[in-house]
Every structure is written in C-alpha cells, then in structure tokens.
A and B are shown apart, each in its own frame.
Chain A
C-alpha cells in the first residue's frame, strides 16, 4: 500500500470517527432533551393540577356570588399571574353574559405581563397574547387589540379580529371591516360567520358597507352573507339595488342568497333577470331565491330551470319547486324518464341534513 493510500485511509478513518462522535453526541443530546421535555411536561401538568385544585372551588364561589372577587385574587401568588390569566381564559370561552363579565374582572389584574407580549416574540406568542387581552381586557385595551389587526402576521390579525367581533362590543366591528381585505385567503363562510357573531347591533354598519361600491366586492359579498346569517330584513332593499348594479359573480350570488332568506315579492324583478344569467352559480342562487319569495306565476321559470344544463341549477330549481309545494310536477318529471328524472326523484325523497 502506497503512503498516499495510507494517508487517505487515515483521513477517511478520522472523518468517520468524527462523524460517529457527532452522531452519538446528537443522539445523546436528543435523548436527554426528550427526557427533559417529558419531565417538564409532567411537572407542568402536576403544577396545573395543583393550581386548579386550589382555584376551582373559590372561582365557582365567586361566579355564584357566594364570595367576593378579592377571595380569588388573594389566593393567586405573585409568581402565578400568568397561570391565573390562562386559567381564567379557559373558562371565559365557555360562558356568556354576567359570568363572562365577572371572569373578565377576575382576570384583568393579571393582564399587565401579557400586554407587552402582544408586540413581542414570534407570531404564535403574539397571537396568544392578543387573544388573552381580547377576551379579558376589552374595552379598556381595545386600542391595543385594534392595533393588532395591522400586525404583519395574518394569524395575529385574525385572532384580533375574532376578539373584536363579539356581541358585547359591536362598536369595534367597523375596525374589523376596514381590515377584512387582509383575510382574503380565509374561507368566506368563516369570515361571514365571524361578522354575524356580533349580532343585530352590527346590522346598520354591515348594511352600509354592503351597499357602498367603494368597498371591495369580496368584502361586500362576505358582508352580504353575514347579513343573511343575521336574517336582516332591512338588507333586502340594499341587495336588490346591488343586483341591479353589480356584475361580479360572488356578490351577485351572495345578494341572491340574502334575498332568498329575507326578500319580499317586490324584490323579484331584480331576481328574475338573473335566472337566465350565463353564470351557473348566479342562476342557481336566482332559482333558489325565486323558490323562496316567488309568486305562482314564477313557477314556469323553475320548471324550465329543472332542465338546465347545470345539474346545480337544476337541483336548486327542483328543491325550490318542492318547497313551494309543486310536488305534482316533480312527480311527473320523476316518472318521465327524461334526463332530470333522477334528480326529481332525489329531491322528492331527500331529507335535509
């Protein structure tokens, strides 16, 4: 073996030894970390159990009005403030009304160490802090939560929006609406549901945004759906106007769904026009609306729509006919052997989820 080969061999061996040593160290390091993590998790669990057993009884008494709020504050040691705020947060999500207010009062003194975290650390930590302050610290700390709507992290912004969109504080909905475009990737149904959670007090503001063409159409479509969830009869007039002026599929469909839920016969002309739309999504929403608010003389439109090229339009039309009590004509279609016979059979036999 030449000296060069021997030297090469020695180098390879050295590298191998270094590699093995590193891997062994890494394995030992990982193993120790896992064991320590397990111990930390166990300790945290035990600590929580201890705190819960200490706080549970007093908290329930305070909520029931059997003891003053001081009784809870007295048993929270100075080093337990963050635990206390998390503890209150857990319960606050499960209750409404008076109990919620009382829990907010109990948790408020412990918010001080949480507030700086709203603008510090990674997005997940900031989101958690915003959630805590949003649940416990409104309206006192509203400004901070509103500022979080502009946080660079979409997660933090969403948590802030959900904290602000609450029944107790309809005054903040305008701030949420201003930033709704930030959540363009989120599910529209989810956003509508979030806005609707504010309740009837939000209706005037929602109507205003919905009818204002200066707002993005996506935002207005989401707002229309929220108004539908809220069964806002006053929004039907706005919807009819929107149908006359807009061409975007999303806002048209949302407006038709809104009219379908809260519209009156006087809104029918705007709807009828869209039964022949070239867009099947709009046609489907229009036939549903006709089914809900239409007059007997609108039924031929639905009969025609039952044979629409789009199965979605056809099924909406068939359901509309069924809901309007035109079961006979559906039975005839079902027995006809025509292309949409199966659809008619399905609609006649189906039970809503």
Chain B
C-alpha cells in the first residue's frame, strides 16, 4: 500500500467518523428541541391554571436566601444589591459575600445600606477562606454582607451557605439582574414536589436592553454582532437543550448565574467545590449539580433537579472575541473537570439515566467530540484541497451541516415564540433567522476551537478563571478580574 493510499483510507475513515459524530450530535439536539417543544407548550398552559398571584400571598412560600458573591464590584454593587432588594417575594434575605475585594466594594455597600457589624451563627461548617466579619443593614434588615478573604466564587458561595438560615438558597452572580418575579417562579417546583433539591432558571442576554432601577424594562437586540450570536445561542441552550434534558429528568447543568438549591442537601453533599473543600474547579456550577446527583443516588434519596423556563436572570455577555474566547475556554474546562471528577458515574447502573444518558452525552458529544469536530474541519479541507472527494459530496456535506444548523436555530426561535416572546418586534424574528444562518460561517467554528482549547487546558490542569471584561449595566466601563 502506498503512502497516498494510506492517507486516502485514513481520511475516508476519519471523515466517516466525523459524519457519524455530526449526525448523532445534531440528532440529539433536534430530539431535545422536540421534547422541549411539547413541554414548553404544556408548561405555558400549566402556568395559567396555577395562579402566581395567589402563591405570592401564600404563607406557604418557603423563605429563600439570595447569595451574591462579589469581587471588585465597587461600580455596580450598590445598584445590583438595590435591585435584589426589590424582588417580589414574601420572605427572603440577601447575603452579599465580599470575596476579598481589593477595591471599595465593601465601603460602597457600607455607605449605601448603613451596614453595622453583627453576629451571625453559622448553620453549616463548609470549609472556606477566613470570614472577617458579618454586617447587617440598618435600613434593610434582610440584607447581610459577609466580608471574607479571597477564595473564589465557589468559596464565597460556601461562606454564604454557611450563614444561610433558610431552607432554600439562590446562587447567582452579583452582576446579573433577576427579574422581579424570578424567585417566585423558580420556587414553584419546590412547592409542587418536596423532593426537588435544585432548580435552574433561564439566563438571557442583557446587552442592548434598557435597564432602569436595576430592572430590565425594554428588551432589545444587542448592537454588537458577537452578542447577537450569543442571544441565539442562549435561546438554543436554555429553551431547547436544558428544557429537553430536564424533561428527561437528567439535568446536569444549572447556570451559576441563577439557580435555587435546597440548603440541607447541598451542605450534606459538601457544598461547592473549592480549594478549601473538594478542590477548586472553574465549573463549580456543573460540578455541584453532578455531585448532587451522585450524593442522592448513592444514598437512595428520592430527588429531582428541575429546570424552569420562565424565571429570568439577565446577564451581560462578552462583546469582544478575546473575552468570549476566554469565557468558552473556561466553560469547557469546567465541564471537563466536572466529568473527570465524577467519571465513576459513566455507564454505572447505580446512577441510572445520569450514568447512561446525560453523562455519556456530555462526555462523548460535548467534550470528547470536540477534537473530532475540529480535526474534521482540517480533514475536510485536506480532502477538498487534494481533490480526494467529488465536489458534489463536498457541497452536499456542507449543505447538510448548514441545514441542520438552521433547523436547530429556527426550532429554538420557535420555542421562544411559543412560550415567552421576549423579542416582540418582527425585525427581531428576522434577525434571529439571519443569525441562525450566519453563525454557520465562522462563529460556530470559532466557538468549537475555543472549547477545544478549554478541553486541552483542562487536561493540562489549568485552573485560572481568566479576566472578564464587562461593559457594565451602567455607562461606566468595568473591568472585572474574576480571580
């Protein structure tokens, strides 16, 4: 066999592998979209018969603690906390954890909310970096600020959990904006099923939106092209992906930007992974959910982890390629680390559908599939350049990929239209369709490349969060170093 023949055979075989990967991955996406379609339709009808106004006035609503870690947020912290204090919920506390900020975050909060030192007995003993002091607001008694040494986001969350006295807590990013009724909506699964241990809400892109008094008052498309692509991506990810997996009772990810958890269960599972607990990870949100599955299944505790498609947290997404690259790199590293830590779950009967469905999907398709995808692009290019494939196959394959991508994007737009209609203008609908087509020409490939980079970093053991540049919800340009 000549060298050329070996190359030809190798390329043909590899292209076949890429083709199978591509078909399987997209079929899974399509399946979750179809499942989500059925469930969002039902969910919207269900909301009509379960009156939220009634629930809000009900004494039966469980108290919730909103834990917001803050690191060097002096420009936005007062506005963010004010917004949290305006949530529509009968009984809740806000615990801001100042994670060793080196700027004036604590001073700003002290001034704005008249904070005074106050004793607060820990209700759990998750190991954290030393807590310096707890403060309570004299103006808003349900606001507490915990000042501690820097330990990272998961460590700050653990410090908040230690001082949480309510049965549920809401973990969020300090710079996200929760819609006023978001807590009330996300708590619903906990009312309906006492075995619910966690619920995730939807994260939407705030870039371009009008924000007044810490509330999103006008939903608009971002001007920045990269942010626009992310609007569509988030719709696909939350409404099609997470909704679909939740229907299968196999949710593995609850976004760190917005999730509600049962405190007892999280404490029993060991809290968030940090360098003081089970070892730090950049994907603390996914790691916790995977660990909760493991904890409950190993102890045969009946449980459910839910996804609720209508409570919304608005967040600012990256507008520069550099920041976007770092974000996706970090997300992929987080996923890889979480999967690696809990590898014992793979095809293990003990973990049921998590071990046989969700875990293999995330491992084989969302993690190990990345090298196949990226190498697939190169192999495809080599095949074309060397003239090893008939042009008709090349065009055909490209068209199939494009059409599949379009189907999935349009399906996600359909899910949004079916249930939530946050983008009311006709122009928005057209924009979403155009974005669905345009993202196939470079954006998807870039994302795949950055994710592969993240995977390689995870294999190398890189732990740093990287720098996140934000425009901020105010005019001020903010640079946040999420160390």
B406 adjacent to A27 (CB under 8 Å):
yes
A125 adjacent to B45 (CB under 8 Å):
yes
Cα A262 to Cα B399 in complex, Å, equals 73
Given contacts A27-B410, A124-B46, contact A37 B418 (CB under 8 A): yes
In the complex, which residue of chain A has the Cβ closest to the Cβ of B93?
A353
Instruction: Please indicate which of the listed interface residues B48, B50, B121, B142 has the most CB atoms of chain A within 10 Å of its own CB.
Output: B121
Q: Which of B46, B63, B123, B414 is close to A311, meaning CB atoms less than 8 Å apart? A: B123
B136 adjacent to A351 (CB under 8 Å):
yes
A190 adjacent to B191 (CB under 8 Å):
yes
Cα A119 to Cα B442 in complex, Å, equals 52
Contact flags A151-164 to B (C-beta < 8 A → 1, else 0) = 00001001100100
Given contacts A37-B414, A346-B118, A349-B118, contact A185 B194 (CB under 8 A): yes
Interface residues of A in 312-328 (CB under 8 A from B): 312, 315
Cα A95 to Cα B390 in complex, Å, equals 72
A interface: dominant SS: helix
B220 within 8 A of A: no
A335 within 8 A of B: no
A23 adjacent to B119 (CB under 8 Å):
no
Q: Which of A38, A155, A190 is close to B49, meaning CB atoms less than 8 Å apart? A: A155
Q: Which of A26, A124, A346 is close to B42, meaning CB atoms less than 8 Å apart? A: A124
| Nearest Cβ on chain A to B303's Cβ, whole angstroms | 12
B396 adjacent to A16 (CB under 8 Å):
yes
Q: Which of A20, A33, A196, A353 is close to B63, meaning CB atoms less than 8 Å apart? A: A353
B431 within 8 A of A: no
Cα A162 to Cα B122 in complex, Å, equals 38
B385 within 8 A of A: no
Contact flags A6-24 to B (C-beta < 8 A → 1, else 0) = 0001001100110110011
A194 within 8 A of B: yes
Return chain A residues, CB-CB under 8 Å to B404: 23
Cα A56 to Cα B441 in complex, Å, equals 52
A349 adjacent to B418 (CB under 8 Å):
no
A26 adjacent to B414 (CB under 8 Å):
no
A229 within 8 A of B: yes
A342 adjacent to B121 (CB under 8 Å):
yes
B350 within 8 A of A: no
Given contacts A20-B399, A27-B406, A351-B136, contact A311 B48 (CB under 8 A): no
Given contacts A30-B411, A193-B59, A345-B119, contact A41 B396 (CB under 8 A): no
A231 within 8 A of B: no
In the complex, which residue of chain A has the Cβ closest to the Cβ of B302?
A185
Cα A4 to Cα B306 in complex, Å, equals 52
Cα A285 to Cα B118 in complex, Å, equals 25
| Nearest Cβ on chain A to B409's Cβ, whole angstroms | 9
B475 within 8 A of A: no
A289 within 8 A of B: no
Chain A, interface residues (CB within 8 Å), range: 35 or more
| Nearest Cβ on chain B to A128's Cβ, whole angstroms | 5
A338 within 8 A of B: no
Return chain A residues, CB-CB under 8 Å to B120: 342, 346
B49 adjacent to A185 (CB under 8 Å):
no
B392 within 8 A of A: yes
Interface residues of A in 24-42 (CB under 8 A from B): 24, 26-27, 30-31, 33-35, 37-38, 41
B60 adjacent to A122 (CB under 8 Å):
no
A186 within 8 A of B: yes
Return chain A residues, CB-CB under 8 Å to B392: 13
Cα A37 to Cα B410 in complex, Å, equals 13
B77 within 8 A of A: no
Cα A342 to Cα B53 in complex, Å, equals 39
Return chain B residues, CB-CB under 8 Å to A209: none
| Nearest Cβ on chain A to B198's Cβ, whole angstroms | 15
Cα A191 to Cα B59 in complex, Å, equals 10
A30 adjacent to B407 (CB under 8 Å):
yes
Interface residues of B in 373-427 (CB under 8 A from A): 390, 392-393, 396-397, 399-400, 403-404, 406-407, 410-411, 413-414, 417-418, 421, 426
In the complex, which residue of chain A has the Cβ closest to the Cβ of B192?
A186
A104 within 8 A of B: no
B190 within 8 A of A: yes
B213 within 8 A of A: no
| Nearest Cβ on chain B to A187's Cβ, whole angstroms | 5
B193 within 8 A of A: yes
Interface residues of B in 43-96 (CB under 8 A from A): 45-46, 48-51, 53-54, 58-63, 91-93
Return chain A residues, CB-CB under 8 Å to B195: 185
A202 within 8 A of B: no
Return chain B residues, CB-CB under 8 Å to A125: 45
Cα A130 to Cα B48 in complex, Å, equals 12
Q: Which of B53, B141, B192 is close to A185, meaning CB atoms less than 8 Å apart? A: B192
B49 adjacent to A128 (CB under 8 Å):
yes
Given contacts A124-B42, A345-B119, contact A162 B192 (CB under 8 A): no
Name the 4 nearest CB pairs between A and B, nearest first: A345-B119, A190-B60, A193-B60, A124-B45
9 A-B contacts, Cβ less than 8 Å apart? A13-B393, A20-B400, A30-B414, A93-B53, A125-B45, A155-B46, A189-B61, A342-B120, A344-B119
Please give the residue numbers on chain A whose beta carbons come within 8 Å of chain B beta carbons, in ascending order.
9, 12-13, 16-17, 19-20, 23-24, 26-27, 30-31, 33-35, 37-38, 41, 93-94, 122, 124-125, 127-128, 130-131, 155, 158-159, 162, 185-194, 196, 229, 311-312, 315, 334, 342-346, 348-353
Seed contacts A23-B406, A155-B50; 6 additional CB < 8 Å A-B pairs: A16-B397, A20-B400, A27-B410, A34-B413, A130-B49, A187-B191
